[in-house]
Amino acid sequence: MQKGKFITVDGVEGAGKSTQINFICEYLKDKGINVILTREPGGTEIGEKIRTMLLSNSTGKMHADTELMLMFAARNEHIQNKIIPVLAQGDWVLSDRFTDASYAYQGGGRGLDIERIAQLENWVLQDFTPDMTLLLDVSVHIGMQRVESRGTKDRIEQEDFDFFNRVRQAYIARAKQYPQRIKLIDAVQSVDDTSRQIQAILNDL
Ligand code: Z5A
């Protein structure tokens, strides 16, 4: 039985997820909440191996269906062996990306049928959903500018502007579909102003 809360953070690359996740973690700890930080794809030993396969450039070309199923294989391991046990002991879980990313990247970006993604979601997650998702929204242009200095790009980051624009639109559509769970954050603002928006939402939770 779930006792802790499950929060996920999502958005296009460069939206500031990693930056804000560190803020959220510290903020919750200051409130006396035990929280673990995790990520997708990954978060478990097997999940991290799948992540390497998914993101490494040495993997080469991968069929979009294979990519989707690997995301859900890693997610199944993550939910069963990490997220649910941690929530059951009363601690909170903060995940850098979760299922919304599959709808955005594999659905919006790759153009896979949303119904097929929903079938996998029903199979792997059943009724399990995050208590809250913080969707950090910036234009693809701004996001790309922010990560430009990193140099090498992984297999998915190699995609073009139009791909990431479809990803962003799919995220926004999800936020409209699930307004109770998905909180749209204006992440164009400064780091501090973005943190303030998140803090207000966390206080409500
Ligand atoms: N993926 C998928 O396809 N399907 C799925 O189901 C799942 C994932 C779960 C995982 O990458 C990849 O897997 C991802 C989606 C796919 N592929 N892509 N592309 P990831 O999540 O590990 O990494 P990422 O998406 O590439 O995240 P990122 O590039 O690290 O972005 P970020 O975490 O949102 O940004 P950041 O590191 O916090 O900030 C980037 C820079 O901007 C940094 O220099 C900051 O100092 C700066 N920054 C942050 N906030 C601000 C503000 N507010 N103003 C100015 N500058 C800022």
Tens of pLDDT along 159-177? 999 999 999 999 999 999 9
| CA 1 – ligand 1 centroid, Å | 32
pLDDT at 148: 87
By the 8 A CB rule, do 15 and 138 touch? yes
Residue 164 lies in a domain: yes
Task: Please give the Cα distance from 15 to 170 (Å, whole number).
Answer: 15
- Nearest-atom number in ligand 1 for the CA of 188 is 53
The count of domains in the chain is 1
119: domain CATH number?
3.40.50.300
Ligand 1 atom with minimal separation from the 105 CA:
3
Q: Is residue 65 one of the residues assigned to a domain? A: yes
Instruction: Tell whether 32 is covered by a domain.
Output: yes
Q: Binding site membership: which residues?
A: 11-18
Cis peptide before 41 (omega within 30 of 0): yes
- pLDDT, residue 149, reads 83
Which residues are documented as binding site for ATP? 11-18
Please give the average per-residue pLDDT across 70-84, as a whole number: 98
Average pLDDT of the chain to the nearest whole number: 96
Task: Find the Cα–Cα–Cα–Cα dihedral 3, 39, 63, 172, rounded to 10°.
Answer: 80
Mean pLDDT lowest for which of 43-52, 148-157, 173-182? 148-157
One-letter amino acid at 101 equals A
Which residues does ligand 1 sit against, CB inside 6 Å? 11, 13-19, 40-41, 71, 96-97, 101-102, 105-106, 146-147, 156-157, 187, 190-191, 194
Average pLDDT on 126-139 reads 97
**Ligand 1 centroid from CA 11, angstroms:** 7
Residue nearest to atom 28 of ligand 1 (CA): 13
Residue 88 lies in a domain: yes
Lowest mean pLDDT among 25-29, 112-116, 148-152: 148-152
Angle at 41 between CA 58 and CA 162, to 5 degrees: 70
Residue-wise pLDDT tens digits, 21-48: 999 999 999 999 999 999 999 999 999 9
For residue 184, give the H/E element and its range. strand 182-186
Is residue 150's pLDDT more than 90?
A: no
| Structure confidence at residue 1 (pLDDT) | 63
Top-confidence residue, 197 or 1: 197
* Average pLDDT estimate for 190-198: 98
Whether the predicted model's global pTM rises above the 0.85 cut: yes
- pLDDT score recorded for residue 151: 80
Is the residue at 1 inside a domain? no
**Domain containing residue 108:** 6-204
With a cut of 80, say whether residue 76 has pLDDT above it. Answer: yes
Distant-in-sequence, close-in-space partners of 72: CB < 8 Å, separation ≥ 6:
102, 120, 121, 123, 124
Say how many Å lie between the CA of residue 10 and the centre of ligand 1.
Answer: 8
Structure tokens at 84: 């649910």
- Residue 33 counted as domain residue: yes
Tokens of 3: 């006792």
| Candidate from 68, 142, 156, 193 with most ligand 1 atoms within 8 A of CB, to mutate | 156
Tens of pLDDT, residues 50-59: 999 999 999 9
DSSP letter for 57, please.
G
